[in-house]
Chains A and B, each alone.
Chain A
């Protein structure tokens, strides 16, 4: 009985390792082929560590294929989305959780509709609205819709946080003569820092990796493309340079992977509260 149990355990842990390899190997393979030339990728060494490291793939990606432009666009769009989303969400959820006015519950529920609306569904009208506001061919055409999409979830998380803070806190500040704006920025904003950090990671990853809206809004404008679109660029014109494509994919993935490795617990938490809330 005892031996049977430990054989089971062994098989089980082999299975865990196999799936881990299955989950990681495609990424490792991508890194390998970003250093290979076509001959090595397809003929001489498709699986393993590159025999000769072709660093020029990265040089090419960076100098020939506009990767710096895509990278810059992604950084600007993701950073602006994070800042504006969190700022708007903080203000809104503060008002709906701690201030007193008629219809505050209605407002909060109204905004939370956003969580049930798939981006795919509103794609067409969003494109038309962006055109109507003459935002086409600007980075705002991505930033504003991204903010709007991430608001519902961010407000929900902040709302939960604010509900857990005792109301006496502002009373004390009020006694000391602070007005509401001072109280908000000096006391409230620093207090919800843990929620802000989690949400910043969540919104950053969402904006950094977003494809569907970016594809129709800036897909035809080379100067405004973000990295997820840049990766696809290779499908047409440069299908002969697989190494360069690999290098671009590695560059596109690196920031997200770094964020995950540095803040892994926070990232998992950020992504999973998103899921749990949707149920």
Chain B
């Protein structure tokens, strides 16, 4: 039996394919991102070491600040939109008294399974300034609120963030539905006996007990803002000017448009670091506050 479980050849054959692919296509690339971010490289000839030059340039580049500002707008809008709607809808479909629960689940979730390009192309035709569905609708309703949704220097980022929030709301919704399933119904019965109505019961029980779920949701929403790329690429090309750039878009355009790979990789390494920082900060915040509170709450409920 011992021999069976420590068969050297079998261990090698079993681990080798996965390790090989992972090392070649993920691990080496991530090392290269950091290594080449200290070089000047046009993608063809050998990279030339330039120390911190790319980073100094990055930190003095106006586009870098635009990108980070957009990241914040994107992350905050997406997070607020998704958390609010997803929580409301998840609580609603978890309530056996609501009719059409199955339909609601499908309706809210379905944009998630679509390709981002289809969703962007679709919203592109809805938000088009001249012929778009939204402006046509506003015009025929006689509402004077037609906008250049995607070609306005200040508003476009909100329109883009909205499209992302619209598509992925269903994802957060499904996460929270799964979280609610794990909460014991005893809590609600206890709350009812104490005279709490449904709204209070959810505020005092459901939401605090979903701390773990909210932590994952928050990480997904915020790192989503840092990584945002496809929406900009399809709907605005980063424009007008550079007003809808994000770090990922900045990396893409430095590398594949202006052939400054080293500079693009400096942006890419900032992207990785910002994602990691977000994960660490969110974990730390949840560890110090909510989880203690939840434990106390659980104890109180049982007492």
Q: Looking at B4, B18, B251, B265, which has the most chain A CB atoms within 10 Å of its CB?
A: B18
Say yes or no: A278 contacts B219, CB within 8 Å. Answer: yes
Which residue from A19, A92, A101, A124 sits with its C-beta under 8 Å from B19? A92
Which residue from A151, A261, A275 sits with its C-beta under 8 Å from B217? A275
Q: Does B288 sit within 8 A of A, measured CB to CB? A: no
Looking at B24-32, B145-153, B294-302, the stretch in contact with chain A turns out to be: B24-32
Contact indicator per residue, chain A 12-29, by CB within 8 Å of chain B (1) or not (0): 110010011001101101
Complex: chain A residue closest to B133, CB-CB: A46
Residues of A within 8 A of B125 (CB): 33, 242
**In the complex, which residues 213-231 of chain B have their Cβ closer than 8 Å to any Cβ of chain A?**
213, 215-217, 219-220, 223, 226-227, 229-230
Say yes or no: B103 contacts A20, CB within 8 Å. Answer: yes
**In the complex, which residues 102-144 of chain B have their Cβ closer than 8 Å to any Cβ of chain A?**
103-118, 121-123, 125-126, 131, 133, 136-137
Given A94-B14, A123-B268, A148-B21: A253 in contact with B171 (beta carbons within 8 A)? no
Which residue from B19, B21, B215, B272 sits with its C-beta under 8 Å from A117? B272
Say yes or no: A276 contacts B26, CB within 8 Å. Answer: no
Complex: chain B residue closest to A124, CB-CB: B255
Residues of A within 8 A of B220 (CB): 275, 278
Residues of B within 8 A of A114 (CB): 22, 26
Q: Does B191 sit within 8 A of A, measured CB to CB? A: no
Please count how many residues in chain B sit with their CB below 8 Å of the partner chain's CB atoms: 96
Contact indicator per residue, chain B 244-288, by CB within 8 Å of chain A (1) or not (0): 000010011001100001001100110110011001000100000
Q: Does A245 sit within 8 A of B, measured CB to CB? A: yes
Complex: chain A residue closest to B199, CB-CB: A8
Say yes or no: B116 contacts A99, CB within 8 Å. Answer: no
Q: Does B71 sit within 8 A of A, measured CB to CB? A: no
Min CB distance B142 to A, Å, is 16
A interface, size bucket: 35 or more
Say yes or no: B230 contacts A256, CB within 8 Å. Answer: no
Say yes or no: A121 contacts B131, CB within 8 Å. Answer: no
Given A91-B17, A216-B256, A256-B113: A148 in contact with B108 (beta carbons within 8 A)? no
Say yes or no: A27 contacts B171, CB within 8 Å. Answer: no
Say yes or no: A16 contacts B116, CB within 8 Å. Answer: no
Complex: chain A residue closest to B107, CB-CB: A20
Say yes or no: B22 contacts A276, CB within 8 Å. Answer: no
- Bound complex: CA A144 to CA B23 (Å): 11
- Bound complex: CA A73 to CA B7 (Å): 39
Q: Does B43 sit within 8 A of A, measured CB to CB? A: yes
Q: Number of A-B pairs whose CB atoms are under 8 Å?
A: 267
Min CB distance A117 to B, Å, is 6
Say yes or no: A271 contacts B118, CB within 8 Å. Answer: no
- Bound complex: CA A100 to CA B10 (Å): 11
- Bound complex: CA A220 to CA B14 (Å): 36
Min CB distance B37 to A, Å, is 10
Q: Does A109 sit within 8 A of B, measured CB to CB? A: no
- Bound complex: CA A101 to CA B136 (Å): 66
Q: Does A237 sit within 8 A of B, measured CB to CB? A: no
Complex: chain B residue closest to A154, CB-CB: B18
Min CB distance B199 to A, Å, is 9
Min CB distance B278 to A, Å, is 11
Q: Does B11 sit within 8 A of A, measured CB to CB? A: yes
Q: Does A95 sit within 8 A of B, measured CB to CB? A: yes
Complex: chain B residue closest to A114, CB-CB: B26
- Bound complex: CA A120 to CA B226 (Å): 10
Say yes or no: B113 contacts A19, CB within 8 Å. Answer: no
Contact indicator per residue, chain B 77-116, by CB within 8 Å of chain A (1) or not (0): 0000000010001001000001100011111111111111
Say yes or no: B85 contacts A19, CB within 8 Å. Answer: yes
Complex: chain A residue closest to B176, CB-CB: A272
Looking at A49-57, A58-66, A189-197, A224-232, the stretch in contact with chain B turns out to be: A224-232
Q: Can you pick out 22 interface pairs between chain A and chain B where the beta carbons lie within 8 Å of each other?
A: A12-B92, A24-B107, A26-B123, A47-B137, A99-B14, A113-B30, A118-B248, A120-B229, A120-B251, A125-B33, A126-B29, A144-B21, A144-B25, A180-B4, A180-B10, A209-B116, A212-B230, A227-B115, A231-B117, A256-B114, A256-B115, A278-B216
Closest 6 CB pairs between A and B? A279-B216, A148-B25, A125-B29, A92-B18, A95-B14, A20-B107
Could you tell me which B residues sit within 8 Å of A by CB distance?
1-2, 4-8, 10-11, 13-15, 17-19, 21-22, 24-30, 32-33, 36, 43, 85, 89, 92, 98-99, 103-118, 121-123, 125-126, 131, 133, 136-137, 166, 169-171, 174-175, 177-178, 212-213, 215-217, 219-220, 223, 226-227, 229-230, 233-234, 248, 251-252, 255-256, 261, 264-265, 268-269, 271-272, 275-276, 279, 283
